Chain A
Amino acid sequence: MSDEVHPSQRLDDTVHQRVRLGILAVLAEADRADFTYLRDQLGLTDGNLSRHLQVLEDAGYLRLRKSFEGRRPRTWVSATRAGRAALAAEVAALRQLIARLDG
């Protein structure tokens, strides 16, 4: 019997959720993205996106920064180092899972 951990056990529940994975995927290619951009890219409502951002922020995967452009409030979102590492680990685990199931 192998001691190797099954790739599915390496999937992080916080990151594995489809929308949260999408948020981290967008932020992997950018230093920061604003709330509206993320909402439109992922096809979400404001409330839905806010809930997912909160989960990722609580896990230490995101940083949120609020600013004003004139009178208009704007929320910028960035991935932390831990968030980028979590995405990389998730993608690696998914690749391993596919390779294992295909092989």
Chain B
Amino acid sequence: MQPEEATRALREVDALRRRTLSERRSTWFPLVLFGVLALGAAVACEVGDDRTVALYWTVAGPAGGIATGAYAYRRSLRVGVAASPLPYLATAVAILVGASLAGAISTGSARTTAPYLVVALGFLVFAWLERHLVAAVAAVVGLVAAVAVVATGPVHGCAILSATFGLGFASTGLALRRREHG
């Protein structure tokens, strides 16, 4: 076998893998959806108390996860290529359980902000599963914001952090969608 032939074969493999990865991903959808939900949480932080925020996420978190799963499934039928749902499902459950625990064991303002540490870490895992650098950057920025707010405990920390996540995730998701759809 000639080296040019081997090089061409490897290039074709890489190109096909890249294209398939790009076509099976729907990273923009959960970013936009959970971005919007986080903006809703910012409102809940201001109009209610800890329990209002906890109740909001108890409903919005699983609903967002189910909507994301449904979107990914329908898209896989339309495009004809799909990822295994199991790692995503396991990560989503871990985020829900971890975020609930983080809120339950924290005290003071951290009851509403500490769950964002888990959410950011969870999105980092999602970005790794999707092998998506932009999503990973959004998750790291969210994680840094969560660490800063949890550590300093500013007034309106819950609303500030929710709005930061909301605007960051939604704008990243919309930019990705625009890039995917031209």
Contacts and interface: CB of A to CB of B under 8 A. Distances in A.
Interface of A: 8, 11, 18, 21-22, 25-26, 28-34, 36-37, 41-42, 69, 87, 91, 94-95, 97-98, 101-102
Interface of A is mostly: helix
Contact of A37 (B1, B7, B79): B79
Nearest to B7: A98
Interface of B is mostly: helix
Interface residues of B, number: 23
21 contacts: A8-B1, A21-B12, A22-B12, A22-B13, A25-B20, A26-B16, A26-B81, A28-B20, A29-B20, A30-B81, A31-B84, A32-B81, A34-B81, A37-B80, A37-B81, A69-B77, A91-B13, A97-B1, A97-B3, A98-B6, A102-B3
Given A28-B17, A29-B17, A41-B19, A94 B9 contact: yes
A39 B49 CA distance: 55
